Structure 1
Amino acid sequence: MSYTLESLIEQERELELCYFNQDVAWQLGSCIKSLAEQKGASISIEVFGFGQTLFQFCMMGSSADQLDWIRRKRNSVLCYGKSTYYLSLYNEGKKRVFETQPHIDPNEYCAHGGSFPIRIKGSGLVGAVSASGLASLDDHELVTQALKQALDSQKTQ
């Protein structure tokens, strides 16, 4: 799929959850794991909310540095309030690399797709859901697929 900045902003608006708690974090993380297994991918997953890690899983064959990528992706989402895929495309459009800007510490932040803001309708940003191990776009799509499934589940309750 091809995204524009506008379509990513719309995606963030569409994927605001009705509610979020530890059970939803488990649902999101488990869903991403299942989607990755269907693709035969070995990734690491984190669901972070309310200042703490609520779900974390490293699949067989994943690498240790994936958790560091997740931490840096999560930091970017929590700081800028946008998905890391959005941050990547935004900076690409400005003909610059996010991590090389003077005010960005590349040891703490990155703009590689795969981390997405968790927002509750009417409440704002409460966390981030992240995956690492695939190409930037593929990590982004795993996370957004899981958020869409969680939101669809909430709407039918």
Structure 2
Amino acid sequence: MSTDDIDGVIAQVEQQEHDLLFTTFTNDDAWRLGCLLVELAQERDLPVTVDIRRGTQQLFHAARPGTTPDNDSWVERKVRVVERFGASSYLVGLRARAKGSTFASQHDLPLQQFAAHGGAFPVRVRDVGIVAVVTVSGLPQADDHALVVEALAAHLG
């Protein structure tokens, strides 16, 4: 991906994060969003793990056929990136690439704990900020990210 391509994708992801806002986010919202993600994965026979959490409380978790415990590790690592940097894991990784660097060299964080790869997206409530993280793991990073965005857009109407 060229620098121009990366800049374009960064602008697109920033716009997604700006647009995909909730007015409230409840445990029932997490359940409905999680079920929607699982339904999309079932329809497309995608081997993904879906996770939604608010802080340390896991609100939704499902692992589709074809996933392994390693997907749970990826979920944890991606979530930590969102919680630490306040942006989707995909956006954080893209921003490092746009600077000709890597997330690892830019931030010197242990790769066993942080993964700036697509799939974890901040759940933002208007006038509040980030209240949760929704994550998909199991596909190439752009596809993990796209699936989350598709479900958020559908859920928000």
TM-score of the alignment, normalized to the shorter chain, above 0.5? yes
Amino acid at match of 2:63: C
Amino acid at match of 1:83: S
- The number of equivalent residue pairs is 151
Q: 2:150 aligns with which of 142, 145, 151?
A: 145
What are the Cα deviations for residues 54-88 of structure 1, in whole angstroms up to 9, with x where unaligned?
00011122111000000000000011011111112
Q: Note the 1:71-82 alignment, pairs <5 A.
A: 71-82=76-87
Runs (4 or more) in structure 1 with deviation over 2 Å come to: 99-103
Aligned counterpart, 2:59: 54
Q: CA RMSD in A?
A: 1.4
The 1:118/1:42 distance shift into structure 2, 3 A limit, reads: same
What are the Cα deviations for residues 16-57 of structure 1, in whole angstroms up to 9, with x where unaligned?
111101101011111111111122111111001143110001
- Of 138-147 and 103-112, more deviation after overlay is shown by 103-112
Task: Measure, in 2, the Cα distance between the counterparts of 1:111 and 1:35.
Answer: 24
Aligned counterpart, 1:83: 88
Percent of aligned positions with the same letter in both sequences?
32
For the 8 Å contact 1:73–1:115, the answer to whether it is kept is yes
- What are structure 2's unaligned runs of at least 5 residues? none
Aligned counterpart, 2:125: 120
Q: Using structure 1 for the length normalisation, give the TM-score.
A: 0.91
What are the Cα deviations for residues 104-146 of structure 1, in whole angstroms up to 9, with x where unaligned?
1211111110000011011101111000000001100111111
Task: Measure, in 2, the Cα distance between the counterparts of 1:25 and 1:118.
Answer: 10
- What are structure 1's unaligned runs of at least 5 residues? 153-157
For the 8 Å contact 1:51–1:127, the answer to whether it is kept is no
3-state DSSP class of the match of 1:4?
helix
Task: Measure, in 2, the Cα distance between the counterparts of 1:137 and 1:38.
Answer: 19
